[in-house]
Each structure stands twice: as C-alpha cells, then as structure tokens.
Structure 1
Amino acid sequence: MKNIAIFASGAGTNAENIAEYFSKNEKINVALIVSNRLKAGVHERAARLHIPSITLSKADFEAGEPVIKVLQEYHIDFIVLAGFMSKISDPLMQAFPEKIINIHPSLLPKHGGKGMYGMHVHEAVVAAGERESGITIHYINEHYDEGAIIFQASCELLPTDTPEDVAAKVHALEYTYYPQVIEKLLTQEA
C-alpha cells in the first residue's frame, strides 16, 4: 500500500477529487491532508472523507523537519500538492526525492513562476491572447514551476473566453487527469 499526503491551502476541491478517486483503491491510500492554513476549507472536506488533516506553521514548512516527522508518523510515501501556496523546503525535497508532484493551471513553461497561481494564471492567459491553455503536472524542485514535466493536457480557448471560462476548462482537466497521473506514477513504482 502506498500512502499519499495531499498538501492544500484552500478549499480543497482537487484534494477531495483525488481522495474520492482513491477511496476504494487497494494499492493507494490518501492517508493525510496537510495544510498551512488553519481555516482552509480542505479540513472540512477531509473530515467528511474521514481523512486525518493537520495544519503546520510557516516555520514548520521552512524548517522541514517538523513536516518530515509528521509524514513519517503517517508512513507517507508520496506527496501531492493540490493548491498548496507555500514553497517546499530543501530538507523536505531531500527527504522525498522525486516523490513530490504539483499541478499547475497552464501549459508550462508559459505562465509559471512565483505569484502565478489560480486566477492570476487564467488572467495572464487571457491577457496574452492564448488560443489554448491546460494543465502541467510536474515534479517540484527548488524553483517555482520549473521541475521536470510529467504530463500536460490542453484545452482550446475561444477569443471570447473570460478568465473564469478558462478556469472552468482547466479545472475539468485537473479533475480528470491528476488522479490518473498519480495512480500511474505510484503503480509504476511497485
């Protein structure tokens, strides 16, 4: 059994989608949800799904060791970032090499980097007049959105699409592909 920890900072719709996808899986288990925000909506979703959830401080994430200790207590094999708005520390990356992935709401390398998340990305995509957008699932490294790309999926954009329209199209891709890619990565390791 591979145990996943999902890191999320907000409402947790992607975390919930991933947890539901794996709820009856015999080889992959969402064992823990971790947030850096005490009042993040992801905690309510975790409670409904009967998944333990905890909040760790900015200092804990910067140091790395307190986070690693918690992950070891839950026997975590793999970390999935799902709307997590904090940089992953070097000690955490070293403890989980090639075992931390992120999803970005654009086709990297376009519209990535510090400050490029959520609606900021979709607004930039519309402002640039892009004809397509999509998702990028990638390993993390020490630079925002520059880790090795694992998977991309695109969607066509119309000249009349608003940032909200782009967000809806991208969310549909996230919900479809993120759990599938996680499953593929973890079953290949077995």
Structure 2
Amino acid sequence: MKRIALFASGSGSNAEKIAEYFADRPEVEISLILTNNPKAGVIERARRLHIPVLVFDRTTFYGSERIVRLLRKQEIDLVVLAGFMWLIPEALVRAFPNRMLNIHPALLPKYGGKGMYGHFVHEAVVSAGEAESGITIHFVNERYDEGAVVFQTACPLDPTDTPEDVARKVQVLEHRYFPEIVEKVLNQLK
C-alpha cells in the first residue's frame, strides 16, 4: 500500500478532491492531513472523510523534527502540498526528496515566490493582462515554487476576466488534474 500525507492551510478543496479520487483504490491511503491553521476548512473536510488531522504550530514545524518523525513512522510514501502556505524546512525536504509535490495556481516561473498565492497570484495575472493562466505541479525544494516542474496546463483568459474569474478557471484545472498527477508520481515511486 502507498501512503499519502496532505498538507493544507485553507479550505482544503484540493485535499478533498485527492481524497475522493483515491477513495475506491485500496492500494492507496490518505493517511493524514496536516495543517498549520487551527481554523482551516480542511479540518472539517478531513473529519467528514474520516482522515486523521494534525494541527501544528510554527515552533513545531521549524524548530523540531516532530513532523519528519511522524511522517516516517506513518511510512508516508508521498507528501502533497494542497494549498499549504509555509516554506518547507530543509529537514523535511531532505526526508522526502522527489517525494513531495506542490500545486501552484499559475504557470511558473511566472507569478511564483514568497507571497504569491491565491488571490495575489490571480490579481497579478489580471494586472499584467495575461492571455492565459493555469496550474503548475512541481516537486518541492527549499525555495518557494522553484522545484522541478512535473506538470503544467493552461486555460485561456478573457480581457474582461476579474481575479475571481481567473480563480474559478484555475480551480477547475486544479481539481481535474492534481489527483491524476499525484497518482502518476505515486506509481513512479520505487
């Protein structure tokens, strides 16, 4: 059995789509959802899906190896960042080399880096007058949004699109492709 741990900071719609995607696949288990936000919507989604949740703080995440030890104890094969906002500490990156995926709501390398998430990305895309946006799924390294790209896909934008319109179009791509790419990467693991 392959085991996945999901990290999320917000509503958790991508985490839920991934969990639903693997629900009928006994060879894959969503073992744990981890969040840095005690008020995150992902917590309620995880409860509904009967997936254990761990809420942690900044000191635990950056000042200890507790998360790494927990993931190893749970024999996690793949770590998936599904809307997780904190930079991943080096110890965690080293513990899961090429076994940690992130999704970014833009076509990297454009609109990536510290502070570029959610509506900030979509506002920047609209302000720049881009003709398209999309998603990038990439491996995680020690810097925001700079890991090797695994998958990208784009959607056309209309000149009248608002940041909210862009967000809706991008989320359709996230929900459609992220679970499939997680499965593809999982199947390539030895």
Aligned length: 190
Alignment of 1:27-106 (within 5 A): 27-106=27-106
- Give deviations 1:58-113, integer Å, cap 9, x for gaps: 11111351101221232211100011011110011111111111000000000111
Runs of 5+ in structure 2 lacking a partner?
Answer: none
- Give deviations 1:102-159, integer Å, cap 9, x for gaps: 0000000001110000000000000000000000000011111111000001000000
Aligned letter for 2:16? E
Task: Select between 150-159 and 64-73 the one with higher mean Cα deviation.
Answer: 64-73
Aligned letter for 1:14? N
Question: Tell me, what secondary structure is at the counterpart of 2:39?
Answer: coil
Task: Select between 71-80 and 102-111 the one with higher mean Cα deviation.
Answer: 71-80
Aligned letter for 2:150? I
Question: Tell me, what secondary structure is at the counterpart of 2:154?
Answer: strand
TM-score (norm 2): 0.97
Over 3 Å counting, the alpha-carbon distance change for 1:75 and 1:47 in structure 2 is: same
Question: Tell me, what secondary structure is at the counterpart of 1:152?
Answer: strand
Runs (4 or more) in structure 1 with deviation over 4 Å come to none
Task: Select between 134-143 and 56-65 the one with higher mean Cα deviation.
Answer: 56-65
CA distance in 1, matches of 2:38, 2:147: 28
Report if aligned partners of 1:64, 1:91 keep a CA contact under 8 Å in 2: no
TM-score (norm 1): 0.97
CA distance in 2, matches of 1:63, 1:178: 30
1:143 is matched with which residue?
143
CA distance in 2, matches of 1:2, 1:64: 26
Runs of 5+ in structure 1 lacking a partner?
Answer: none
Identity of aligned residues (%): 57
Question: Tell me, what secondary structure is at the counterpart of 1:113?
Answer: coil
